[in-house]
Structure 1
Amino acid sequence: MLKKNEGIDIVKELGGIQNVEQAQALFEKRLDSDHLIRIRKLSQPEILIKIANAIAMCDPARVYINTGSAADRQFIRQLALNKGEEAVLPMDGHTIHYDLKEEQGRIIDRTFYIANPDEKISSLANKILRDDALVEVRTKMAGIMSGGTMVVGLYMRGPVGAAATNPALELTSSAYVSHSAEILYRNAFDDFEKEVERLGHFYTNIHSEGLNRAEDLPNARVFMDRSHRTTYSFNCTYAGNTLLLKKGNHRFSVDKAVYEGEGRELAEHMFITGIDGPDGRVTWVAGAAPSGCGKTTTAMAGNHFVGDDLAQMWIDESGSVRSINPECGIFGIVEDVNGEGDPMLMDRLRNPGSEVIWSNVLIDETGTPHWTGNGEAQPIRGRNFQGPWKKGLQDANGKEIPISHPNARCTISSSALANYSEAAEAAEGVETRVITYSGRDSDTMPPVWVAKNSDHGVAIGACIVSAATATEVGASGVKRAPWANAPFIPGALGDYMKAQFDFFGSAAIADGKRPIMAGLNYFLTHEARGGSGKKLLGEKKDVKAWLAWLEQRAHGDVDAIETPIGFIPRYADMQRLFETRIDKAYPEDLYNRQFSLYVDNILARIDLQIAAYSKEENIPPRLFDVLKEQRDGLVALKEKFGPIVTPEQLSNM
């Protein structure tokens, strides 16, 4: 069991500030009069002690208390420009940021959980013992902000007043990080202490980019102290390693849900979107996918956008599953974002009226951003993530350098989007009736299927397998991606899985309100279904039809074909939804290729999962029961029909 406040609080040890009186004395010494007035508006002891210790440890020349005012936001933007962390682009409100070319994703090999000696850490993660982390932070962070400015921000990860929202401090010397936080999170200076008192906790994030040199990257680290809910990040610049409000604090939220949520709370790597149904009905969907696997595209396919990356979920007193987005903006991958597949996002990226921070795209000679797969004419020269670029430029290994990095991003406020829903700021969240799980699966699962019950639904999430993406430095190949949340599960997988079974199977969920749980996969290729080539067997926009079917299935409006892995749609329903939702023909031959069960592939996937989870401690037996049930059913199908089983054969059973 995870113990809160166990062991030395590293920043308190290094800063030396033990009480409010010492904190106030430090503020008197280190803050100018304007910012001293601001911090005196705060009185909660633990907040003040954390901020004071971060100042004492990092030793900035100046401390800026960011209240979220228009003047403060403008100061931060200008600081980013003055430091060279961002540069102005011709379109009003647009800037470009480049990370170090060697740091274009999460540094998973240098990311560690700080652990107490007897503390269990996920088998998929790295850990460092607390005493060793103390030495590392003392050696590499003490005085790291010397000569610089520390910006202190007080944010809410979710709407103020929500049951599952989380307050968080962000203390950074990077104006780019602070600028990003202002777009992606809710500055809550005026409400922060009230929310901390209501919720009984807050997270702390301390970051410095150091000298921002490539030679410092071997010494870059991201440390996450689960016991004291404090993150430390240094010598790095990519937002996934530095904007610790995001995935760093998501990890703390996972811990909070697993070890304190009592089966009524989850923290998930999920989009949230609303789908229009018949007679004005809106059905809310939350869906998991690994980074770089289409969460933003799927979220934007909905009619009412709430979020594209993270979700906090809980069961309310009425028995409904409710969801909120901890964020209020998008830090979205732009590769393959184009006018055909992502018209609303593309409109905001290509037309005036929105604040956008671009990262690691190409900027041409006119100051226009370009990226791979944008569906537009590509320039032959410009500047991108590795420096000056021209078409045909090769790296040291003779490989052609693309126009933009595969993990190039845009940062933009959710409220800028045409399908943005004001429900995103509702403290009560949205009632969630559909849960989906997906990954980059080219050859195994059908485009959409619904679990037979909540236990089978948890198994879908537990068994995601996906091709690696550019979001992680050095990642390659196809790998397991449990719940698309595995990189962000701090504790034992068995503990997390139990929380999933407890939540979705909870008796507290009212009759008629239990979400359906489903798999999504729009990465099937032609060669995997009897054709040739690696082109997708469909288009990105097809997901609107799959989501529409799930919306109707959640309300019992459509029947389905039962299979050992769950329920798949009938052809007539999908043909109708393709026509009415995306004005597209859907031939029966394509349906048969997409929804036939390739039994040997699915059996291999099940066997992979059984072997992997058998090596883990305390995995709930229910997982193995579900997988055995599915395996036995598939073997029986193969004995009757052979290795490929069509929807018609399944219908006639």
Structure 2
Amino acid sequence: MISRILTDWVEDVAQVTQPDRIVWCDGSEDEYHALIEQMLREGTLLRLNEQKYPNCYLHRSHPTDVARTEHLTFICTPKPEDAGPTNNWMSPEEARERVGSLFRGCMRGRTMYVVPYLMGPPGSPFSEVGVEVTDSPYVVANMRIMTRMGTIALEHLGNSDRFVRGLHSLGDLSPERRYICHFPEERMIWSIGSGYGGNALLGKKCHSLRIASVEARDEGWLAEHMLIIGVEDPEGRVTYLAGAFPSACGKTNLAMLVPPPALSRYKVWTVGDDIAWLRFGPDGRLWAVNPETGFFGVAPGTSMRTNPNAMIALSRNSIFTNVALTLDGTPWWEGMSDPPEYAYDWQGRPWTPTSGRPAAHPNARYTAPARQCPSISPHWEDPQGVPISAILFGGRRARVAPLVYEAFDWTHGVFVGASMASETTAAATGKVGVVRRDPMAMLPFCGYNMADYFRHWLRMGARSSKMPRIFHVNWFRTDASGRFLWPGFGENLRVLKWIIERVNGGGEAEETPIGYVPTPDALDLDGLALSKETLRELLRVDPHDWRREAEAIAEFFHQFGDRLPEELWHEHRRLVRRLG
């Protein structure tokens, strides 16, 4: 039996949007393949080489609709200070007038799909239902990969009125009429004018982070932009870590890491690559689940060398968006392999290596089922989640941050996360290569004032003596010529090994003004050709650079005014004193 509250809401939406017909999605295999065949007929999808990429398809989005549009993403609360200075704010009244009017009649001539979905494992106290209404079959197909969609969600919902309401329409795909609006107090999302994943798959960033972060604040848990992995040592002990990295900064590669030959007796298990919901367990520890069931990964740079597990996961039952197409009907992107002699680029135009433009869009994506990943953890769908021993913060910094350091304590760790910065990537529309503060990698995804978000983190730490240890990592430090000093990818396990040793009471470290840094002989570098000079540079903490960094952190903090927790200013003053 379907909730009457849900059916009433769907009827209200239909009266406004006026679709030709309404389809309630059940999430079945037959339904999925019927949608695929429909999109193949309409030209929305192209079938890829069935022998090499079985049940895989290519979608080309509109050239103006290729990434999250953060400047058109709004938090709609009664007071602007509740959204905070790092979010775009719009009053609910203005949103209903300005954006609501765009939905009137927007689905005429189209089918309205009702997509119930479950975020989190079935039967888990973490899990919650959302319902997305959309006129895009591409969105429906992707939501089936990314979430537990259809009947299973309706069964979880029952007669409850507790579900996130998501309304999405392609509209006319005009950037002038493109909005993504979040109403945290009503647990509602409106998105119009975009078919791109992050703007249109409402279960992903919109629900799982922007709306869920507000729920987490109110209910005493954390909704975070984090991977979850389990590192199994040669004795069979598994230590679970969560990690926050901005988009396209190596998060997916770390989530699916393959150990290097020197550490072949270790195993890295993938629990999730993008989103973590963390709650206290009965033992006082933080336990985490991955609410998703798929990977929405950045394709360029992904290869059998950088991420073989991802390549295997995406090789079947997957949807590719804005990649290039080779003459034999296979997907290709920069960094995957040697370029083909001839292909069609992400817009369908003829392309050769001498064309002078990328074949795949820099933010080209694959949507692949998580269950296909060879490293998927046997516990990835455990209802209680997995216990987190350490939290990693990281980003892309060419100069300032060392390879790894540990925070002095939880409060200092919150300061480290609140002040972290990264160089921007193509995942969000805007300039590339600019350093911007991205606290906990949540700047684009926090659904309320980030000063209050920092306070929530501090309060979480006060509730338990068993909080995870906090570390900062930076795989991207370069030398004067711009060459990466650290090999990265699978070799990052050497850093994780030291982190796990620290968690377990070992791991040699030197106290520095910014935290505990490994001593030169603390990292297991067996089999790695890394000079002592390079290692010294990787671990170096330059007081001059960090004094400038402290100034930049203060400038970032000042925008929050009196709302910023005093504890963070206290940590800032302590950092400045330690730097001398």
Cα pair distance change 1:508/1:206, threshold 3 Å: same
SS at match of 2:388: strand
2:6 to 47, 51, 54: 47
Quote how far apart the aligned CAs of 1:381 are. 3.0
What is the aligned partner in structure 2 of residue 646 from structure 1? none
Contact 1:494 1:620 in 2 (8 A): yes
Tell me the residue number matched to 1:148. 110
* Aligned with residue 623 of structure 1, among 564, 568, 571: 568
- In 1, the alpha carbon distance for the partners of 2:513 and 2:80 equals 41
* Range 484-493 or range 71-80, more displaced: 71-80
Answering whether residue 525 of structure 2 is matched by residue 578 of structure 1, we say yes
CA deviations 1:226-267 (Å, max 9, x no partner) are 221111111211111111111111200011112x12xx3001
Question: Could you tell me which residue of structure 2 aligns to residue 32 of structure 1?
Answer: none
Q: What amino acid is the match of 2:139? A: V
Q: Do the aligned partners of residues 585 and 195 (structure 1) sit closer, same or farther apart at CA in structure 2, a change above 3 Å counting?
A: farther
Matched residue, 2:169? 208
Q: State the one-letter code of the partner of 1:239.
A: G
Q: Superposition pairs for residues 4-403 of structure 1, below 5 Å?
A: 41-42=1-2, 44-90=3-49, 91-117=53-79, 120-187=82-149, 189-195=151-157, 201-212=162-173, 216-249=174-207, 250-258=209-217, 260-261=218-219, 264-301=220-257, 303-349=268-314, 351=315, 354-374=316-336, 376-391=337-352, 400-403=356-359
- Give the counterpart of 2:361 among 390, 405, 408: 405
Q: Which amino acid aligns with 1:333?
A: V
Aligned residues: 565
What is the letter of the counterpart of residue 568 of structure 1? V
CA drift of 1:410 comes to 0.8
State the match for 1:516 in structure 2.
469
Distance, in Å, in 1 between the alignment partners of 2:153 and 2:190 is 25
Are the structure 2 counterparts of residues 393 and 218 from structure 1 closer, same or farther at C-alpha, using a change threshold of 3 Å?
farther
Tell me how far apart the structure 2 counterparts of residues 188 and 430 of structure 1 sit (CA, whole Å). 26
State yes or no: 1:588 paired with 2:550: no
Amino acid at match of 1:277: D
Query: Which amino acid in 2 is paired with 1:555?
Result: N
Q: Deviations over 1:408-435 (max 9, x none)?
A: 1111011101100131111100000010
Deviation at 1:392, TM superposition (A): 6.1
Secondary structure, in 3 states, of the residue corresponding to 1:415?
A: helix
Distance 1:84-1:136 versus aligned 2 partners, 3 A rule: farther
- Partners of 2:153 and 2:107 lie apart in 1 by 28
Corresponding position of 2:262: none
Are residues 520 and 196 of structure 1, via their aligned partners in 2, closer, same or farther at CA, if it must alter by over 3 Å? Answer: farther
Match of 1:525 in 2: 478
Shift of 1:277: 2.5
Any idea what SS the aligned residue of 1:487 has?
coil
Secondary structure (helix, strand or coil) at the match of 2:242 reads strand
Contact 1:525–1:533 (8 Å) recurs in 2: yes
Opposite residue 578 of structure 2, the aligned amino acid is: G
- TM-superposed deviation, 1:372: 1.0
Deviation at 1:482, TM superposition (A): 1.0
1:85 deviates by: 2.0
Is the CA contact (8 Å cut-off) linking 2:76 and 2:83 kept in structure 1?
Answer: no
Higher radius of gyration, 1 or 2: 1
By how many angstroms is 1:393 displaced? 6.8
- Give the match for residue 494 of structure 1: 451
User: Is 1:555 the counterpart of 2:517 in the alignment?
Assistant: no
TM-score by length of 2: 0.93
Letter of the 1:391 counterpart: T
Instruction: Give the 3-state SS of the residue equivalent to 2:203 in structure 1.
Output: coil
1:603 aligned onto 2:547: yes
RCO comparison, higher one (Cα < 8 Å, 6+): 2
* Alpha-carbon distance, 1:455 to partner: 0.6
The CA distance in 1 between the partners of 2:150 and 2:351, in whole Å, is: 44
Please state how far the C-alpha of 1:456 moved relative to its aligned partner: 0.9
CA RMSD in angstroms comes to 1.9
Q: Distance in 1 between matches of 2:440 and 2:448?
A: 14
Supply the distance in 2 between the matched residues of 1:77 and 1:548 (Cα, whole angstroms): 44
Which SS does the other structure have where 1:425 is aligned?
A: coil
Q: 1:389 offset after TM fit, Å?
A: 3.4
Distance 2:542 2:464 in 1: 37
Tell me the CA shift for residue 53 of structure 1. 1.5
Partner of 1:164: helix, strand, or coil? coil
> Distance in 2 between the 1:422 and 1:279 partners?
17
Moved more, 117-126 or 105-114: 117-126
* Partner AA of 1:89 in structure 2: L
CA contact (8 A) 2:485 2:538 kept: no
Greater CA drift, 283-292 or 334-343: 334-343
- The residue type paired with residue 116 of structure 2 is L
Residue in 2 aligned with 1:648? Answer: none
5+ long unaligned stretches in structure 1: 1-40, 395-399, 636-653
Are residues 1:470 and 2:426 paired? Answer: yes
Amino acid at match of 2:566: P
CA contact 1:167–1:196 (8 Å) conserved in 2: no
2:260 aligned residue: none
- In the alignment, what sits opposite 1:5? none
Q: CA deviation at 1:586?
A: 3.7
Q: How does 1:378-457 map to 2 (within 5 A)?
A: 378-391=339-352, 400-457=356-413
Shift of 1:538: 2.8
What letter corresponds to residue 86 of structure 1 in structure 2? L
Distance change >3 Å, CA 363–CA 82, structure 1 → 2: same
Q: Which of 432, 436, 440 lines up with 1:483 in the alignment? A: 440
- State the distance in 1 between where 2:451 and 2:459 align: 12
